Structure 1
Amino acid sequence: MTERLRVAVLTGGPSAEHEVSLQSARAVLDALPRDRYDPVLVLIDRQCGWSLELRREMADNKIDIVFPVMHGPFGEDGVVQGHLETLGLPYVGCGVMASAIAMDKTVMRRVFAADGIQVIPHVWFTAHDWHTSTDRSDLVKSLDWPMYVKPANMGSSIGISRVTSMAELHTGVELALRYDRIVVVEQGIIARELTCGVLGDHDTPDASVVVELNVRGDWLDYEEKYLSDHELATVPAPLPEPITKEIRELSLHAYRAIGGYGLSRVDFLYEEHTGRLYLLEINTMPGFTPRSVFARGWEAGGLSYPELLSRLIDLGLARSGA
């Protein structure tokens, strides 16, 4: 019998997405084929303390690869990835640069715009800009109501508000500033929310089936994503073939633009009445919970969840030369 690979599944961390990370890691741990892998769960607490398992395993050279199933700052922004590289440990997913670019919604969109990818109209400003402005309406004067206010470095719909007036903007910005010192304000539009997964190395990645998010209210908030029992997605998305093709091509374009490797989920807004397609953001470690759409897009294309995990591990080992 072939010796099983020792996989350290990292989870937790200090970000507001700590609980989502725990759900994702549990799903990964449960689905890893035990005939190929010997997983160990490694919890990083909210104070960035690591459980002793990884240190012990590393000291004995027993870790073959790390699967950092972590979302948001610290886990998805290049910090953990850089730490693993200094330790010489192979890991699943994007590297330091791609992770850092994708985590910051302002930097990410500047990269996309420079590469000719259409992004949603938006503005951004710092906490200092907000608190010292004599006329805060000037900060968003290029946009119309409604708007969406977001922390620049956060995911899972945490810290987001839909606003329709200056009073609501004030409340929304103060909420976003609890999570980051930079705030992004996006133009609100009537659009369908679509997503597409990317899997592979930087040169020859593949795009998944396109998925549509079923948004019941104005937007898909945290409670709807993780606490509701309503069907989150339509798989595959019912779209004209040219739009599906364009989304898949743009997903690969965005992946290459940030220097992606391993996996990403690319999110879009499709404004049907104008035919415009806006790239909203790219996520380098999308949710892996049973309700998450990344794996469902691949499963619809014939790649099961356990097979998806194996592909990701193989890609991480290939990058390291292991």
Structure 2
Amino acid sequence: MTERLRVAVLAGGPSAEHEVSLQSGQAVLDALPKERYEPMPVVIDRQGRWSLELRRGVVDVVFPVLHGPYGEDGVVQGHLETLGLPYVGCGVLASAVAMDKTAMRRAFLADGIPITPHVWFTEHDWRTTTDRWGLVKSLDWPMYVKPANMGSSIGISRVTSMEELHTGVELAVGYDRVVVVEQGIIARELICGVLGDHDTPDASVTGELNVHGDWLDYEAKYLSHSEIATIPAALPERIAEEVRELSLRAYRAIGGYGLARVDFLYEEHTGNLHVLEINTMPGFTPRSVYARAWEASGLSYPDLVDRLINLALARSGA
């Protein structure tokens, strides 16, 4: 019998997305084909302590199912690089660029990828200015206020007045010192999964988030039992294909590898598409929209996990 590869599945971490990561990590552990892989769960607690010290000879490949700062921003990826361990997903630079909403938008703008109007400022700017309206005056109500480095809709507010803006910014700076404020637009929210290496990645079918209310918040994404997405989305073929093409462009713009989910706003009345963001380690349970988009494209969840591990090994030359 061929010796099984030892796969360390990292989950948890000190970010606000700790619980989401634990769900994703357990799903990966359950899905690993046991005839080929020996699963090794590794939990990182909220203080950043690891339940198992990783090193070459102990594990063969690492699957960091970590969301948000510390796990999705290049920090853990850099640590694994120093250990010489193959790992699933984007590298240090791509992870850092995608996690930071200001750096991500700069990369998109440089590549001519359409994005929503936005501004950004630091907590210092907010505290010291005598004209807070001046920081956002290029935008109209409603606006969306977000911490620059966070995911899973944590720390986000929809605001329609200066009073709400103050509250939203105070919430956002509790998670990051840089705040991004985006123009709110009437649009459908679409997603597309990307899978593959730097040069020849594939795009999944397009999905649509079922938004009940103004936006899909944390509770709707992770605590509700309602169906959060329609996959594939009911779209004109031209729009669906444009979503796929833009997803691949966004992936290449950050130097993606392994996987990413690209989120869009689609203005149906104008036909305009805006890339909202790219996530290098999206929610990763079988119920997550990324996995469901690939299932609708003909790739089951266990096969998706297997493909990602093989991509990690290919990058390392293992």
Corresponding position: 1:112 with 2:91? no
8 Å contact from structure 2 (residues 6, 61) kept in 1: yes
8 Å contact from structure 1 (residues 146, 162) kept in 2: yes
Aligned to 2:182, the other structure's residue is in SS state strand
8 Å contact from structure 1 (residues 267, 280) kept in 2: yes
CA distance in 2, matches of 1:222, 1:291: 15
Question: Which residue of 235, 239, 246 corresponds with 2:235?
Answer: 239
- Report what 1:3 is aligned to: 3
User: Offset of 1:3 from its aligned partner?
Assistant: 1.2
CA distance in 2, matches of 1:272, 1:237: 13
CA distance in 1, matches of 2:270, 2:162: 28
CA distance in 2, matches of 1:190, 1:230: 22
Question: Which residue of 143, 154, 159 corresponds with 2:155?
Answer: 159
Aligned to 1:209, the other structure's residue is in SS state strand
CA distance in 1, matches of 2:140, 2:244: 30
8 Å contact from structure 1 (residues 24, 69) kept in 2: yes
What CA deviation, in whole Å up to 9, does each residue of 1:113-144 have, x standing for no partner? 01000111100000000000101000000000
What CA deviation, in whole Å up to 9, does each residue of 1:133-179 have, x standing for no partner? 10100000000000000000000000000000000000000000000
User: Offset of 1:71 from its aligned partner?
Assistant: 0.3
Aligned to 1:198, the other structure's residue is in SS state strand
- Report what 1:42 is aligned to: 42
Percent identity over the alignment is 79
User: Number of residue pairs matched?
Assistant: 318
8 Å contact from structure 2 (residues 260, 278) kept in 1: yes
CA distance in 1, matches of 2:146, 2:297: 32
- Report what 1:317 is aligned to: 313
8 Å contact from structure 2 (residues 207, 293) kept in 1: yes
Pairs within 5 Å for 1:114-133? 114-133=110-129
Corresponding position: 1:278 with 2:274? yes
CA distance in 1, matches of 2:305, 2:228: 22
Gaps of 5+ in 2: none
- Report what 2:28 is aligned to: 28
Aligned to 1:250, the other structure's residue is in SS state helix
- Report what 1:75 is aligned to: 71
- Report what 1:99 is aligned to: 95
What is the letter of the counterpart of residue 29 of structure 1? L
CA distance in 2, matches of 1:264, 1:290: 15
8 Å contact from structure 1 (residues 81, 95) kept in 2: yes
What CA deviation, in whole Å up to 9, does each residue of 1:188-227 have, x standing for no partner? 0110000000000000000001110000010000000000
Question: Which residue of 302, 309, 316 corresponds with 1:306?
Answer: 302
What is the letter of the counterpart of residue 54 of structure 1? E
Question: Which residue of 195, 200, 206 corresponds with 1:199?
Answer: 195
Pairs within 5 Å for 1:288-299? 288-299=284-295
Gaps of 5+ in 1: none
8 Å contact from structure 1 (residues 226, 291) kept in 2: no
Pairs within 5 Å for 1:141-180? 141-180=137-176
Aligned to 1:267, the other structure's residue is in SS state strand
CA distance in 2, matches of 1:15, 1:114: 30
Pairs within 5 Å for 1:179-190? 179-190=175-186
User: Offset of 1:274 from its aligned partner?
Assistant: 1.2
User: Offset of 1:2 from its aligned partner?
Assistant: 1.5
What CA deviation, in whole Å up to 9, does each residue of 1:75-131 have, x standing for no partner? 000000000000000000000000000000001001100100011110000000000
CA distance in 1, matches of 2:105, 2:119: 11
CA distance in 2, matches of 1:247, 1:6: 37
What CA deviation, in whole Å up to 9, does each residue of 1:244-289 have, x standing for no partner? 0000000000101110000000000000111110000000001012
Q: Could you tell me the TM-score, scaled by structure 1's length? A: 0.98
Corresponding position: 1:16 with 2:12? no
Root mean square deviation, CA, Å: 0.8
User: Offset of 1:291 from its aligned partner?
Assistant: 2.6
